[in-house]
Amino acid sequence: MTAMFHVEPIKRMVFKTACIFFMFAVAVSCASRNKIVIEGYLVLPNGKEILGHDSLNAFVFENIHKETSFQNYLSNKYAVLDIKAPEFSVTIDGSQYKVIVYDNVEFEKYFRVSDFVQTHFDTDSDDANWPKFIAISMINDRNEDCLSETSLYRNVAINYLKNLKQAYYKQ
């Protein structure tokens, strides 16, 4: 019987290659991703889709007010029927707009909460289920995205939503 000297080095080379690949995969998977800090607000793309149109942009801000939920605030202010995912109409300078608020599940679906850094922490255990961030889209009476960079209504929408956010914080 003759010994096969060429088999052992090949096995060792395959084993070493597999170990190096595994260590590389572990190192890459453990690397941290970039996190986004929301200072004031952000307008993010790829929100909900309106029938026959592209996905909407959303006005996103951190929920730092914990006394009343944003949905409760809206239901009191605008007589919103569905408190979980409110949609309501507003008139600004004689034009009709529809404001669409994302619930927690929708926010996670479209924007992934893990991509954002929460800057205002509250250690109260009662607030554990409150949303950390709030996202709102806005369309005009022709179902056009008012938060789109090309929209003529962008400044109107952003000013309205900034005022809505400030009113919510102050109440």
Cα separation, 112 vs 109, whole angstroms? 6
Per the model's pLDDT, the better-predicted residue between 118 and 92 turns out to be: 92
The neighbouring-strand residues paired with 90 are 97
- Of the pLDDT bands very low, low, confident and very high (cuts 50, 70, 90), residue 87 is confident
DSSP 108-166: HHHH-GGGEE--S----GGGTTS-SEEEEEEEETT--BTTSTT-TTHHHHHHHHHHHHH
pLDDT exceeding 70 applies to what percent of the chain? 73
End-to-end CA distance of the chain: 90
At 126 the pLDDT is 57
Phi, psi dihedrals of residue 95, rounded to the nearest 5°: -105, 145
d(CA 87, CA 136): 10
**42-44: strand order across its sheet:** 42-44, 58-62, 133-140, 95-101, 87-92
Q: Whole-prediction pTM value?
A: 0.72
Average pLDDT, the chain: 80
Rounded Cα gap, residues 121 and 100, in angstroms? 26
Q: Among residues of the chain, what percentage have pLDDT more than 90? A: 27
- Those residues with Cβ within 8 angstroms of residue 31's Cβ, 6 or more apart along the chain or in another chain: none
pLDDT tens readout for residues 1-59: 555 555 567 777 878 887 787 777 766 666 555 666 667 788 889 888 877 778 999 99
Q: Which residues, listed in sequence order, are joined to residue 100 by a DSSP beta bridge?
A: 87, 137
Q: At 84, is the pLDDT very low, low, confident or very high (cuts 50, 70, 90)?
A: low
